[in-house]
Amino acid sequence: MPLRAVTAVRYVTPLREGGSLPAVVEGDDAGLYVMKFRGAGQGPNALIAEIIVGEIARAAGLTVPEIVLMELPVDLARTEPDPEIQDLIRASGGINVALDYLPGSTMFDPVVDRPDSAVAASIVWLDALTLNVDRTPRNPNLLMWHRRLWLIDHGAALYFHHGTADYASRARDPFPLVAEHVLLPFAAPLPSVDATLARTLTGGVLERIVADVPDAWLASDASFDSPQARRAAYVDFLRARLASPRAFVEEAERARAVHV
């Protein structure tokens, strides 16, 4: 189903551990959310990746906070004393991405936490599929909440879209950076989850996910003739990446074997 639309009514507090200065905000549904700003450093591409990869993870059965499209009124800048935050709000007026805030959650600690091996393998598989460079011991982007692993912060995935319109050329990338993944020491063999996950992500599922990305964000790349053309390029990239044989699975399994 399409992403819900929510309007921000109050800026609560910045989360300064994030390089793009995300923030906790209150929505007009009385819920609290972590907002990712369109006007931050990586622009709308980071928000596109947040939606596509977050919703692929959800379709694959992994736990991701609800993702919503959040309207940000620029008037909220008037009540903020910090000039940096004022500028960020003004630069991000309109539609942004926000994730449901998980109160009391803690950052995943590979020394203390012991995730299920199949879940760990599925997350490694997801991040290799989507070229996510940002799930390392330095920055796990995983939360523990109610004794479950929750995936957050996918803005660094699909990183090729910051520089090239030829998305298809990256479809066979084995993604050697998966060797730095924080969950490799906990993961079951990747072939044990590969076939099931690949079958789940059908062309129809991918098309529905990419359809949630606002046209205005897709239009930010002038190398595509239309938002529809860019949307199709994402779907084609993902479908090609999921085609057998999947080089990223072989690469991830070689990296995992080093940790066994």
C-alpha span between 86 and 76 (Å, rounded):
8
Provide the pLDDT for residue 165.
79
What is the pLDDT confidence band of residue 207, given thresholds at 50, 70 and 90? very high
Q: Which residues contact 7 (CB under 8 A, 6 or more apart)?
A: 27, 28, 70, 71, 73
Q: Find the mean pLDDT for residues 41-65.
A: 96
**DSSP line for 180-205:** G-TTGGGPPPTHHHHHHHHHHS-HHH
φ, ψ dihedrals at 253, nearest 5°: -70, -35
C-alpha span between 238 and 235 (Å, rounded):
5
Q: Average pLDDT, whole number, for the chain? A: 95
Q: Find the mean pLDDT for residues 59-72.
A: 98
Decide if pLDDT at 157 tops 70: yes
Higher pLDDT, 112 or 17: 112
Provide the pLDDT for residue 106.
95
What is the pLDDT confidence band of residue 17, given thresholds at 50, 70 and 90? low
Decide if pLDDT at 18 tops 60: no
pTM, full prediction? 0.96
- Percent helix, strand and coil across the chain, each to the nearest 5: 45, 15, 40
Q: Which residues contact 176 (CB under 8 A, 6 or more apart)?
A: 251, 255
Provide the pLDDT for residue 222.
87
What is the pLDDT confidence band of residue 179, given thresholds at 50, 70 and 90? very high
Provide the pLDDT for residue 19.
59
Provide the pLDDT for residue 220.
87
Provide the pLDDT for residue 42.
81
Closest CA to 190 of 202, 171, 174: 174
C-alpha span between 19 and 127 (Å, rounded):
20
Q: Find the mean pLDDT for residues 192-221.
A: 97
Q: Which amino acid is at 118?
A: A
Question: Contact 224/218 with Cβ under 8 angstroms?
Answer: yes
Q: Which amino acid is at 151?
A: L
Which tokens in the block code for residue 232?
């199709």
pLDDT digits (tens, 9 = 90+) for 224-241: 999 999 999 999 999 999
Percent of the chain residues past pLDDT 70, beyond the cut: 98
Q: Find the mean pLDDT for residues 120-145.
A: 97
pLDDT digits (tens, 9 = 90+) for 92-108: 999 999 999 999 999 99
Helix or strand holding residue 28 (H, E)? none
Helix or strand holding residue 69 (H, E)? strand 67-72
Decide if pLDDT at 81 tops 80: yes
φ, ψ dihedrals at 95, nearest 5°: -85, 130
Helix or strand holding residue 153 (H, E)? none
